[in-house]
Amino acid sequence: MLADLLETLSDGRLSRSERREASATLTAALPSDSARRAFARKVVDAVAERMPGAQERDAVEWLWDVIGLLWRDQGSSGARAYFGPKDPMVETLQALIRGTRSSLDVAVFTVTDNRLSDALQDAHRRGVVVRLLTDDDKQHDRGSDVDRLRRAGLSVAVDRSEHHFHHKFAVADGRTLVTGSYNWTRGADLN
């Protein structure tokens, strides 16, 4: 679906017929707001990759930020609810991480999903202050990405309690809270 849509970029225009076809395809394939937002982020990333220089890629990111401001419903709290596996949980978390500009505080039981770990590392490389708090025992589990994140320079702290640190939340830029029961693991979509 993404590749088909990007083919329409070759001439820099979306014709009426392309618009009709894309609208029908996207409406059928992306029934929820969260799915549409996650896909929109993929489109923006794919277009940015095609830009010849850093200035052009920055302009695409700026455009994404402006669109994000326009998408906000000023009359509501801005709260959104996502329920996996129906909603694209990993993509939603990746979009949150990519959209973070200054700070990201993550408190999770464990991190074993490389897609999320990679997104955290990318944010760190962009200059976002990323802090991770996790369970002291789970950091040693097979497949845990905690040491990899620590070696990459992210601030990592572990609880010092005899009890498991079973929280799952993140705070982006001091204003966006994500919380719930979703584990940041590869198997989370199966549970």
- Reported pTM: 0.60
**pLDDT computed for residue 114 by the predictor:** 92
Mean pLDDT of the chain, nearest integer? 85
Q: With respect to residue 113, please indicate whether it lies within any of the assigned structural domains.
A: yes
Residues with catalytic function: 166, 168, 173
Structural domains of the chain, count: 2
pLDDT in tens, 76-102: 566 677 776 667 888 889 989 998 999
More confident residue, 181 or 53: 53
**What string of DSSP letters covers 143-180?**
T--HHHHHHTT-EEEE--SSS----EEEEETTTEEEES
In a domain, 90, yes or no: no
pLDDT in tens, 103-150: 999 999 889 899 999 999 999 999 999 999 998 887 888 888 999 999
| pLDDT tens digit sequence for 20-54 | 888 888 888 887 777 788 888 888 888 888 888 88
Q: Could you tell me if 65 and 123 lie in one domain?
A: no
Residue type, 141: D
Pair 60, 123 in one domain: no
Region of poorest pLDDT, from 113-117, 156-160, 178-182: 178-182
The domain boundary residue, chosen from 52, 71, 90: 71
**39-to-88, 91, 174 alpha-carbon distances in Å:** 10, 8, 25
Using DSSP, state whether 29 is helix, strand or coil: helix
> Would you say residue 85 lies in a domain?
no
DSSP SS3 for 69 = helix
Q: Are 63 and 106 members of one domain? A: no
